[in-house]
């Protein structure tokens, strides 16, 4: 928090110096171990993962970014495999493309729009999972719109048409109820109903939204709300 200060002990300072002295590859090896522990519910430190993320999001280190993607890709694959809309989404896009889009959204939320330094591995994973959920919803929404390719066009020949499992009107009404104020509801309408990108919103509605960074910031929180309330949106 702004204005607050923390007193670091000599041991914690030495520990921080030790982390900063590690190569990115060494951090990545430890990060994989921490992710495995997290996956199986084993109590573990997340200091190596946080240092790798710090180099990625705060220092914008490209080598750290590559290793971070290497470490976290498997978890994103697992999330996608368990996603309630996985079958419909993967008819439209490959798994690898969803993983790539997840990381791209993550960079926009944590690096391009603002430099985010995470306090825990759980916080970073929540960002990533919200980014994946946003990528899936974006893809399904695109193919629901009139005048664009439909899910039916992508079905295998001879297979019955499988309707998109999300109901657009119902999902929009539920999302509206989650948003605390009219400004966020307006932005959600422009993003999800009008299918506008942040730069397009700034160009189309400069009196309402003049900063793409703010739009990315608000969009991230909307995705987190969607993720937390996924059951009610199905």
Quick: pLDDT tens for 19-68.
888 999 999 999 999 999 998 889 888 999 999 999 999 898 999 999 99
Residues 73 and 37 in one domain: yes
The boundaries of the domain holding residue 75 are: 23-142
Residues 92 and 125 in one domain: yes
Domain count, the chain: 2
Is the dihedral angle over the CA atoms 32, 37, 39, 45 positive or is it negative?
A: negative
Residues 105 and 210 in one domain: no
Residues 99 and 135 in one domain: yes
Residues 35 and 136 in one domain: yes
pTM here is 0.60
CA separation, residue 51 to residues 18, 20, 23, 30 (Å): 11, 8, 11, 11
Residues 52 and 93 in one domain: yes
> In this structure, which long-range contacts are made by residues 180-189, counting pairs with CB atoms below 8 Å and at least 24 apart in sequence?
183/208, 184/218, 184/222, 187/215, 187/218, 187/219, 187/222, 188/222
Residue 105 has pLDDT above 80, yes or no: yes
Check: CB of residue 70 under 8 Å from CB of residue 92.
Answer: no
Residues 107 and 176 in one domain: no
Residues 221-230 pLDDT 10s: 777 776 666 5
Give backbone dihedrals phi and psi of 53, rounded to 5 degrees, phi first. Answer: -65, -35
- Model confidence at 2, pLDDT cuts 50, 70, 90, reads very low
């Amino acid at each position: 928090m702004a204005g607050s200060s923390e007193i670091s002990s000599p041991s914690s300072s030495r520990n921080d110096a030790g982390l900063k002295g590690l190569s990115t590859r060494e951090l990545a090896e430890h990060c994989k171990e921490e992710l495995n522990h997290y996956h199986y519910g084993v109590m573990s430190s997340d200091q190596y993962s946080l240092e790798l993320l710090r180099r990625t999001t705060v220092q914008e280190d490209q080598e750290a970014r590559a290793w971070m993607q290497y470490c976290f890709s498997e978890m994103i694959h697992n999330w996608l495999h368990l996603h309630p809309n996985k079958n419909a989404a993967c008819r439209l896009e490959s798994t690898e493309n969803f993983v790539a889009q997840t990381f791209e959204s993550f960079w926009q939320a944590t690096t391009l729009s603002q430099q985010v330094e995470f306090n825990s591995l759980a916080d970073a994973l929540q960002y990533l999972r919200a980014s994946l959920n946003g990528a899936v919803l974006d893809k399904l929404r695109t193919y629901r719109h009139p005048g664009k390719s439909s899910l039916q066009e992508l079905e295998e020949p001879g297979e019955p048409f499988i309707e998109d499992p999300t109901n657009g009107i119902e999902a929009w009404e539920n999302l509206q109820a989650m948003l605390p104020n009219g400004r966020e509801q307006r932005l959600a309408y422009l993003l999800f109903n009008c299918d506008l990108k942040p730069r397009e919103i700034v160009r189309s509605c400069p009196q309402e939204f003049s900063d793409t960074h703010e739009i990315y910031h608000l969009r991230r929180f909307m995705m987190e709300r969607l993720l937390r309330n996924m059951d009610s949106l199905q």
